Amino acid sequence: MELSPILYHRIIRPKWLSRFYIHNRIEKFLKLDDKHVLDFGAGTGVNCTLCCPEKYQGIDPDVKRIEYAKKLYPDYVFNVFDNDKLTKQENSVDVVLIIAVLHHIPPEKIREYAIQFKAVLKPGGMVVAIEPCLFDKKHISNWYMQTADNGSYIQNERGYHDYFEQAGFTCKTIQRFKKCFLYNELFFVAY
């Protein structure tokens, strides 16, 4: 069952939870307020507050979530992502932000998107991602994530890195951490 944008925003992506597990980590690693950011899979827009409104664009295939994001954050730009093609100009983005999106996308699509990310990124630009991740010797967490999460493509660290390395990126893990006791999370960059 898919949650309405309001319930999703309040239950899955409340501001306090996003601040604690996502925003604080990213801000310690990289300030986004002066960067041109493409938020790939922006959902209800909770991550836009990391960025300057004039340099941010959030995209998501869910029309209802994009409409809700526009109401919550009217100073930011949100667009429906359709036809599997990024509409940004080549070399126009400093950071592609991906938060808990890849594990919902079939691997062959991610490989296609990684090539598009490479094209839209400026020289020196990077992908910044945080994803649920299968960790060695974390059998209970791995089982829980595969059972409870509606994403069908949760990967291990190597799997996520491979998507980007096959498109010519270099990947670096920034942090492995637990979220809400049962979720293994991987914070990594591809540049």
Q: State which residues of the chain have pLDDT below 50.
A: none
Give me the pLDDT at residue 1, please.
Answer: 60
Give me the pLDDT at residue 46, please.
Answer: 96
Q: Which CATH number does the domain housing residue 170 bear?
A: 3.40.50.150
Specify the number of domains making up the chain: 1
To which residue do tokens 């801000």 refer?
27
Extract the tokens encoding 114: 């990684």
Give me the pLDDT at residue 181, please.
Answer: 84
What interhelical angle do 157-165 and 107-120 show, nearest 10?
Answer: 50
Give me the pLDDT at residue 12, please.
Answer: 77
CA distances from 164 to 22, 57, 58, 191 (A): 21, 21, 21, 9
Q: Kind of pairing, strands 183-190 and 171-179?
A: antiparallel
Give me the pLDDT at residue 9, please.
Answer: 76
Structural domain span for residue 133: 5-190
Whether pTM > 0.85 for this model: the answer is yes
